[in-house]
Homo-oligomer: A and B are copies of this chain.
Amino acid sequence: MGRIEYKQYDRFLLAVDCIIFGFDGSGLKALLVKRGLEPEAGKWSLMGGFAQQNESIDDAAARILLNLTGLDKIYMEQLYCFGDLDRDPGGRVVSIAYFALIKIDASDNDKLEEHQAKWIDLKKLPPLVFDHKRMIKLAKERLQQKVSNHPVGFELLPHKFTLQQLQALYEAIFERSFDKRNFTRKILSLGILQRLDEKEKASSKKGAFYYVFDKKKYKQLESEGIQMI
């Protein structure tokens, strides 16, 4: 018994690619880098890397995200395994894609510059290497599905935020508008928001109340599931 059984079978390079989502108040953004490796070096790409024998695939994904952003303990979920023969012209590489949700201003700017990384609006994507555009498309669909059934703003919004910011996030994710009254009623009825006494004054004279998430209730609904959309 042990580690000699499977010698005869083919072995594969395993890449891990990360679709990193962020929200800056207007559009939904993805964090893209200039690819540092041939082939296609210098072109826009998702952040990625190769998995190593001494780590799980989840760990590889976390490592790659940390490497780019300096962040750990980030919301991350496996998206899909892309295994077509010719997806990478540099060789047979099977890629496992993960998507992550981060607060857009929490990442380490030095690291971002190191990788020539930029937040790019999903509606203005440049040409991307390999099948990375397809990955982003799938990730966005998964995010929509996720957000329909789970609270998710916590990961993408600053600690305190206004109802309009939250609505803007949902509108960016679903690329549609919501009725302010219905949206407010729905989201407040979930009981995951706590209103602060503080107001955001930059964008109106009256000012909009800040809210924070009730972490306990949020976590509960995150596992139970909700019906949001």
Q: Does A119 contact B (CB under 8 A)?
A: no
Contact A91 B5 (CB under 8 A): yes
B-contacting residues, A70-85, CB 8 Å: 78, 80-81, 83-85
Q: A12-B11, A80-B78 are in contact. Are A85 and B39 (CB under 8 A)?
A: no
Contacts of A106 in B (CB 8 A): none
Does A126 sit at the interface, judged by CB under 8 A? no
With A12-B11, A78-B81, A94-B14 as contacts: A6 and B50 at CB distance below 8 Å: yes
Tell me the number of copies of this protein: 2
Chain B hits for A220, CB < 8 A: none
* A contacts with B: majority SS: loop
**Contact residues in B for A223 (Cβ distance below 8 Å):** none
Report whether B81 and A56 are in contact in the complex, using a CB–CB cutoff of 8 Å. no
Q: Is A110 an interface residue when CB atoms closer than 8 A count as contact?
A: no
Q: How far is the CB of A224 from chain B (nearest CB, A)?
A: 14
Q: Which of A3, A12, A37 has the most CB of B within 10 A?
A: A12
**Least Cβ distance of A58 to chain B in Å?**
7
Contact of A38 with B by CB under 8 A: yes
Given contacts A10-B13, A11-B13, 13 further A-B contacts (CB under 8 A): A3-B91, A3-B92, A5-B38, A10-B52, A14-B14, A51-B94, A54-B85, A55-B85, A56-B83, A56-B85, A57-B81, A57-B84, A58-B84
